[in-house]
Structures are given as structure tokens and as C-alpha cells.
Amino acid sequence: AWQSPIQTGRQGSPRIYSDQALTMCLVLRYIYSLPYRQTEGFIRSLFKMMKINNRVPSYSYLCKKASKLGLELDKIDQIKSSETIAIDATGFKVVGKGQWNHSKHGSSGRKKWVKMHISVDTKSQEIVSAVVTESGVHDSQVFDELIPPEGVRSVYADKAYDSSELHRKANNKGAAAIIPPKENAVLSSSDPDHPDGSNPRDDLILLREFHGDEGWKQLLNYGQRSFAEGAFSRLKRIFGEKTMCKSMTKIVRELTTKAAILNKMTQAHAMNRILAS
């Protein structure tokens, strides 16, 4: 599948490499944190050792295709192991000219960050969905995008997602949002969008007042939210806390591809444990 089977019939040189081949090159680049030139050389050396006489995409061609190709996360309907997800967000540093000048010359340029939002299946520990945004986007703004349209019954998140609106959004998808109320949270009179006029957030406030913080967490098994933090920890330990790309389009592809690679590693680890037992 290295050669492209598709010829567009348009003017210009024909396609040489398949999307699968280019995606494999980019996956190796992300796993081993290689610049484009080193990725090209690395694949050349692999082909030489394997005695494969295939052409290798140039570093400039890989750079051009990086904004369009990459691994996709598995479809939501394939997540059958658990009805519970955990949601969280973290920042990744974008390294560019400004950051280099700041480190080298002590200039006062602002550091650039992007934010990655994920939902994690608490049973399989795989990333169900991922959204990459600018750093100024609040966590609650992408809450709805992280919840599968159906099948999920519980959503765990931190206080950044605490609002009656987000509880309603989760409830509309058949899920209960387990979100700790803020310290100054007060009861609302009623919720006109809820069938019986109650507010799901009020129930959590009353539970916390009655059982206390620790009792509330134990009662609702709130510790499952840590699976989202664990996924981010693995992601940053394996791939680092900085993005390799600089443009937003390529950064989105890079981070979602890394999330898909992490899922493949998680699946392989789970299979090894099953075989070992």
C-alpha cells in the first residue's frame, strides 16, 4: 500500500505515495519526536536495512501533508466497554521563534499555548474524543462536543464545568454529570427544562452539604475523574509537553494523532496483560 493507487487525472505530476504511507511517516515522526528531515532519513535507513527499494517522501512533502493527514480516534459507537467517561483539559506549549528568543535573549514575548480537551473511557482508559482549541477557550465551551451522542450514563469533570447549563447538556444526552459544586454554589429555584422542574446540580449541592466533601466523593465514586488526568500524564510523558508543529491546523492534527497513537498503545498493553494471564 506504499504506492498511491489513485490518479486524479488533473494536470501536474501524478501522486506517488498513498495516504496510508504518508500517515505512517507522520506517526513515526510523532512517536520519536523527529524533525521532518530526520524522519525522511530514518525511513530511508529502515528501507535500506530491509532491502526495500521504495521511494521515500521528502521532508518538505511530509510538512505539506501534515495538516491533512493523521490517525483518527475510534468512532464513539465502538466504545462498548463502559458507560462512564471522565473529562478534563490541559495546555501544550507551542514552540516558535518567540519562545526561542525568550529563552536565548530574555525577551518579554508572550508564550503561546494551545488547550487540549479530552473525554476518557474510565474502564478501557482510552481517549473517546479530543478537541484542540486556542488557550483562551474555556473548558465549558467544548463540554458538549466531548460527550458521545448516546450510550454514556455518567460524566465526571472538575469544578471548571460546574453550571446548570452543562448539567442540562449532559442530561439531554441521557448522562448524569458528576461535577463538584463550587464553594459558593447556591440552590436554584427550579429548572424549566427538566421534566419535573428540578435541577440536577441542586441534588449535588444538597449531597455535599449532607455528606461533606469526602463523603460526597466516596458516595459518587468521584475518583474516576482521575482517569482523564492519567491519560494526559501518559500523553505528555510519551510525547512531551510541547507541540512539534506551529500552525493551528497542523497542531490539531498532531495532537489528535498522538491521542490515537496513545489509544493503540493502551490497547496493546491490555492485550499483553490478557495474554500474560
The tens digit of pLDDT for each residue in 41-79 reads: 999 999 999 999 889 999 999 999 998 888 888 754 444
pLDDT attached to residue 205: 78
pLDDT attached to residue 195: 47
pLDDT attached to residue 116: 95
C-alpha distance from residue 208 to each of 35, 94, 180, 231 (Å): 50, 39, 8, 28
pLDDT attached to residue 109: 52
pLDDT attached to residue 233: 94
Q: pTM here? A: 0.84
Q: What is the pLDDT along the chain (277 residues), one digit of tens a residue?
A: 888 776 666 666 777 888 899 999 999 999 999 999 999 999 999 999 999 988 999 999 999 999 888 888 875 444 455 689 999 999 999 876 555 555 555 555 556 889 999 999 998 899 999 999 998 898 889 998 998 887 888 899 988 888 888 888 888 888 888 888 877 766 765 544 544 446 777 777 777 777 777 887 888 888 889 999 999 999 999 999 999 988 899 999 999 999 999 999 998 988 888 888 7
